[in-house]
Chain A
Amino acid sequence: MAGRYGGSAIVSLVDVVAAFREKVALRGVSLQVSEGEFVGVIGPNGAGKTTLLTVINGLRTIRSGRVSVLGRTADGGNRHALRREVGYLAQVENIDERTPMTVRDVVMIGRYGMLGLFHRPGKHDWAVVDEVLEMVGMSHLARRPIGHLSGGEQQRAAIARCLAQEPKLFLLDEPTAALDWKAQAGILDLVRRIHDSRRLTTLFVTHDLAALPLACDRVVLMKDGLIRDEGRPASVLTNQTLSDLYDIPVSVVRERRRETIPA
């Protein structure tokens, strides 16, 4: 997939070691992601999945190894510039229902980084905000206080915030946790549609097999800070590999997956 980055990987991690509060979260991870790929990362809690994402967007510094994202190294003065091009959807945090911001205000935050200091959002920025809200199906709630939304609606608003950033790379950390089945299906569908229509490169992290988008190009299995296996969903998501990953017997429901996994 040759593209803007000279055919090389858009994300490249080589032997990355990262620690978080005395705990080694990544113990030598190497991962290459090509432009336009949709990669699902799955593994039990504490596998290092969130750390993987935060190393990629430079929120967390590494102990050793090399990280290159969008042609930059994710360190030092580069970090702010890099993050402006990376949409990062962090795990859900509670929002106080009295928070004095509307949905539009929160989505606009996505554009604050690229606007730069001393620049206020202009007409064009608000137009982009309204457009992405439309895209995630939230136009009717645009002027609601952010704290009044349901869990699913808040995730849609957060996705809109990432899109307002017009990112090249989209990182999602458990975007469907704490959502019911219907909301979960809606978010998964939305993420895949956005990936296709905006020609993004997407990394999607989850601990829940059911929340893994069915149409991943590639699945990465993580456990104890290491990548255990990776490949096409059909070859990686077997009863054996998943049972090893989660330390309990898992059986994959093939009937549900067969239709959508690319051969």
Chain B
Amino acid sequence: MDFSVFGYQFMQNAILAAFLGGVACGTIGVFVVLMHMPFIGVAMSHAAFAGALLGVWLGFNPLIGAFVFSLVAAAIIGPLADRGGLSPEVSLGVIFSLMLGIGFLFLGLMPGTRSTALELLWGSILTNSSSDILVLGVVAAIVVGLVAVFFKEIQATVFNRNIALSVGLPATVILYGVLFLAGATVTASLRSIGGLLIFALIVNPASAAYQLTYSMKRMFLLSAVFGVLSGWIGLLVSYVFDVPSGATIVITSSVIFILAAVFSPKHRVRHWQAEAAVKE
């Protein structure tokens, strides 16, 4: 097989984008999974998609539209997650479908060719520009940096927001901060991964990591590694079989999750507890 393709700039950009997107989405995914709200990812990515389409339609930078829309989504999701008055899953489901509706409305109103718009839906990691990579790199660095600096506050907040508040941590600020970071991550990954598929890259690596460790630090690390692996293996499969990269990346991340779930030591917990009980 001819691997000289990896010498080309576009392929190197793709490899870099997969790395940065994998790290950022994998890290954000840990929050989404630990807060038991996978729909945060779905609602965010569709909000970003709708915002980007508005940009394409009206002729401004789609990333700006995506960022503004995902921040608005975060501002709506925050109180929902905070109060817990309504069932958050239901509210997030409504936001998600509303955003999808708005997105397709913009798509319908758009004159002329819609290839740019559709690219935002499916993503095209192979046509990343250097500025896309730069944005992704900055966002990934900010996400990882903030998690490292505020690890203890984040750990307490995702474990239990009320407990975090009751020991004197600004848990509400942390929650909103995490949601805004999720918005930024989704926006930055939009062009490479696509609005429809990004959700999988947020939820799958973190869910896989969740199956494998009882340490939150290790969960962050594993999730980022799984995110990067999903991107790289997906790219390779995409190249070898000449199929869309967004699809192969997402399928790879799902396969990683399935493997993690099958080999999870946590499934043996009950068995192990039973053994311990017998010994006692």
* Interface locus among A62-70, A91-99, A210-218: A91-99
CA distance A111 to B155 in the complex (A): 13
Q: How many A-B residue pairs have CB under 8 A?
A: 81
* Interface locus among A38-46, A116-124, A230-238, A239-247: A116-124
Contacts of B155 in A (CB 8 A): 101, 105, 109
Q: Are B210's CB and A112's CB within 8 A?
A: no
Among A88, A98, A110, point to the contact of B210 (Cβ < 8 A): A98
A4 at interface, CB cutoff 8 A: no
Given known pairs A98-B266, A99-B159, A100-B210, the reply for A109 and B215 (CB within 8 Å) is no
Contacts of A21 in B (CB 8 A): 85
Q: Are A114's CB and B216's CB within 8 A?
A: no
Given known pairs A98-B211, A101-B159, the reply for A113 and B150 (CB within 8 Å) is no
CA distance A88 to B216 in the complex (A): 24
Tell me whether chain A's interface is mostly helix, strand or loop, or mixed: mixed
CA distance A75 to B166 in the complex (A): 14
CA distance A59 to B152 in the complex (A): 20
Among A81, A82, A90, A148, point to the contact of B162 (Cβ < 8 A): A90
Q: Are A112's CB and B152's CB within 8 A?
A: yes
A83 at interface, CB cutoff 8 A: yes
Among A81, A88, A101, A165, point to the contact of B214 (Cβ < 8 A): A101
CA distance A145 to B213 in the complex (A): 10
Cβ-closest chain A residue relative to B266: A98
Q: Are A59's CB and B214's CB within 8 A?
A: no
Contacts of A176 in B (CB 8 A): none
Cβ-closest chain A residue relative to B217: A100
CA distance A113 to B171 in the complex (A): 10
Among B159, B163, B168, B219, point to the contact of A84 (Cβ < 8 A): B168
Q: Are A109's CB and B218's CB within 8 A?
A: no
Contacts of A195 in B (CB 8 A): none
Q: Are A118's CB and B167's CB within 8 A?
A: no
A115 at interface, CB cutoff 8 A: yes
Q: Are B167's CB and A81's CB within 8 A?
A: no
- In chain B, positions 171-225 with a C-beta closer than 8 Å to chain A are 210-211, 213-216, 218-219
Min C-beta distance of B137 to chain A, whole Å: 25
Contacts of A90 in B (CB 8 A): 162-163, 166
Q: Are B153's CB and A112's CB within 8 A?
A: yes
A161 at interface, CB cutoff 8 A: yes
Cβ-closest chain A residue relative to B162: A90
Contacts of B170 in A (CB 8 A): 80
Q: Are A83's CB and B216's CB within 8 A?
A: no
CA distance A111 to B216 in the complex (A): 18
CA distance A148 to B210 in the complex (A): 15
Contacts of B87 in A (CB 8 A): none
- Among B150, B168, B216, B266, the most chain A Cβ lie within 10 Å of the Cβ of B168
Given known pairs A80-B168, A81-B168, A165-B167, the reply for A106 and B159 (CB within 8 Å) is yes
B4 at interface, CB cutoff 8 A: no
Q: Are A100's CB and B166's CB within 8 A?
A: no
Contacts of B150 in A (CB 8 A): 117
Q: Are B153's CB and A100's CB within 8 A?
A: no
Min C-beta distance of B280 to chain A, whole Å: 11
CA distance A161 to B165 in the complex (A): 13
Contacts of B152 in A (CB 8 A): 109, 112, 115, 120-121
Contacts of B34 in A (CB 8 A): 99-100
Cβ-closest chain A residue relative to B222: A100
- In chain B, positions 100-157 with a C-beta closer than 8 Å to chain A are 149-150, 152-153, 155-156
Given known pairs A21-B85, A83-B165, A115-B152, the reply for A100 and B269 (CB within 8 Å) is no
Contacts of B210 in A (CB 8 A): 98, 100
- In chain A, positions 17-38 with a C-beta closer than 8 Å to chain B are 21
Q: Are A83's CB and B214's CB within 8 A?
A: no
Contacts of B219 in A (CB 8 A): 100
| Chain A residues in the interface with B (C-beta under 8 A) | 21, 57, 59, 80-84, 86, 88, 90, 93, 96-102, 105-106, 109-115, 117-118, 120-121, 145, 148, 161, 165
What are 27 A-B residue pairs whose CB atoms fall within 8 Å in the complex? A57-B166, A59-B162, A59-B165, A80-B170, A83-B166, A84-B167, A90-B162, A90-B166, A93-B160, A96-B36, A99-B34, A99-B214, A100-B213, A100-B214, A100-B219, A101-B159, A101-B214, A105-B216, A109-B152, A109-B159, A111-B167, A112-B167, A113-B167, A113-B168, A115-B152, A148-B269, A161-B167
